[in-house]
Amino acid sequence: MAGDKPSNPTSRDTADNSGDRLRNLTALPRKAAYAQSYSKTVRRLRVILPLAGVLTIALIILWPRILAEFNHPTETSKEERQARMINGRYVGSDSHGRPYTVTYDTAQQPPGGGPVDMTNPVAELTLENGHWVALKAQRGRYDQAGGLIDLSGQVELFHDEGYRFRTEAAHVELTKNLIWGNRAVEGRGPKGEIIGRGFRVINNGDSIVITGPAKLVLRPDAAEMPQPEQTR
């Protein structure tokens, strides 16, 4: 009986084995390159992640200082630095205890103190003899330390005996109970009308002097009124 002959591999089997070997040989360098790249990434992350954490903590701590460095306050104007008051009132008394009040729509005062600049001020004074006088204007400056009030812009003076005067500037000296002005003035009262170059409220309000040259127009029933004092 004849023995079996060993079978020889076919050409197809040989080709398949050769292809597998080639693929394996090609994949080996790729795996080695990937492993090397992965190791480098891991080493870098071991350095980068802690460093990023430290930088984040430092940024959180230093952030307020960074903001303060870049956000410098804008320079304010002189008007913006002044203390501003609205619808206010000053109440006081002069050196003899006579009361007075000063009201205003708005007022501004420098940060370090000093005279107060007012809009639409109204000053009301009680004079020594009990007479009442009020003045109002468009603008005013009140020096509380010096006891002075300077008024300007359509100044009006009212006296409780029925007199009313208009001028462009007037001054009140609270310590002396004196009211005066050196600008053109015109007024009217129970006795008539008068114009002049200035005025004085003197004798604790008992007398209103119009400085001249002055012109007086009397009403028919007021002929006995004395002529105004004239000064040059």
- Establish if 231 belongs to a structural domain: no
Q: What is the pLDDT of residues 41-87, one digit of tens each?
A: 767 777 777 788 778 888 788 777 777 766 655 555 555 555 678 89
Q: 187 and 125, same structural domain?
A: yes
Count Cβ atoms within 10 A of the Cβ of residue 210 and give its class: 0-12 exposed, 13-18 middle, 19 or more buried.
buried
- Establish if 4 belongs to a structural domain: no
Q: 86 and 68, same structural domain?
A: no
What per-residue confidence (pLDDT) applies to 19?
53
Q: 211 and 122, same structural domain?
A: yes
Q: What is the pLDDT of residues 87-134, one digit of tens each?
A: 988 888 877 777 889 999 999 988 777 899 999 999 998 877 778 899
CATH of the domain at 107: 2.60.450.10
Cis status, amide bond into 29, omega within 30 of 0 = no
**Averaged pLDDT, 12-21:** 52
The whole-chain average pLDDT of the chain stands at: 77
**110 or 21, greater pLDDT:** 110
- How far is residue 74's CA from residue 79's CA, in Å, rounded to a whole number? 14
What per-residue confidence (pLDDT) applies to 32?
58
What per-residue confidence (pLDDT) applies to 114?
85
- Establish if 1 belongs to a structural domain: no
**Averaged pLDDT, 10-16:** 50
- How far is residue 167's CA from residue 129's CA, in Å, rounded to a whole number? 25
Q: 88 and 58, same structural domain?
A: no
Q: pLDDT-based confidence at 30, cuts 50/70/90?
A: low
What per-residue confidence (pLDDT) applies to 62?
79
In Å, how far are 17, 73, 108, 199 from 76, measured between CA atoms?
88, 9, 15, 42
- The structural domain count of the chain equals 2
Nearest residue to 208 via CA among 220, 217, 196, 224:
196
Structural domain of 169: 82-222
Instruction: Write down which residue in 49, 74, 99 finishes a domain.
Output: 74
Collapsing DSSP to helix, strand or coil, 192 comes out as strand
What per-residue confidence (pLDDT) applies to 143?
92
